[in-house]
Amino acid sequence: MNRAARAFWLSSPGHGEIRDVALPDPARGEVVVRSLYSGVSRGTETLVFRGGVPESQHTAMRAPFQEGDFPAPVKYGYLNVGVVEEGPDTLAGRTVFSLFPHQTRFVVPASAVTVVPDTVPAERAVLAGTVETAVNALWDAAPLVGDRIAVVGGGMVGCSVAALLARFPGVRVQLVDADPARAQVAEALGVGFASPAEALGGCDLVVHASATEQGLARSLELLTAEGTVLELSWYGDRQVSLPLGEAFHSRRLVIRSSQVGTVSPARAHRTYADRLALALDLLADPALDALVTGESAFEELPEVMPQLADGRIPALCHRVRYDKSA
Find the distance separating the first CA and the last CA of the chain, reported in whole Å.
12
Confidence of residue 245 (pLDDT cuts 50, 70, 90): confident
Q: How far apart are CA 190 and CA 174, in angstroms?
A: 10
At residue 73 the predicted structure's pLDDT band, cuts being 50, 70 and 90, is very high
Task: Check whether 251 has a pLDDT greater than 90.
Answer: yes
Confidence band for 324, pLDDT divided at 50, 70 and 90: confident
pLDDT higher than 90, residue 247: no
Overall average pLDDT of the 148-169 stretch:
96
Whole-number percent of the chain with pLDDT over 90 = 86
CA-wise closest residue to 275 among 290, 289, 258, 291: 258
DSSP state of 16: E
Residue type for position 168 = F
pLDDT at 222: 98
Architecture of domain 4-127+288-321: Alpha-Beta Complex (3.90)
The pLDDT value recorded for residue 325 is 61
Residue 81, pLDDT > 80, answer yes
Q: Give pLDDT, residue 242.
A: 87
Band of the pLDDT at 154, cuts 50, 70, 90? very high
Compute the average pLDDT of residues 64-83: 97
pTM of the model: 0.91
Question: What pLDDT band is residue 243 in, cutting at 50, 70 and 90?
Answer: confident
- Domain spans, the chain: 4-127+288-321, 130-267
pLDDT at 12: 97
Residue 42 has pLDDT above 90, yes or no: no
Query: Strand ranges (DSSP E) for the chain?
Result: 4-12, 15-22, 30-41, 67-68, 74-75, 80-86, 95-98, 105-109, 113-115, 148-152, 172-176, 192-194, 203-208, 223-231, 254-257, 292-297, 317-321
DSSP 264: -
What is the residue-averaged pLDDT of the chain?
94
pLDDT at 1 over 70: no
pLDDT, residue 2, reads 63
Span of 46-50, 82-86, 160-164, 224-228 with lowest mean pLDDT = 46-50
Topology of 130-267 in CATH? Answer: Rossmann fold (3.40.50)
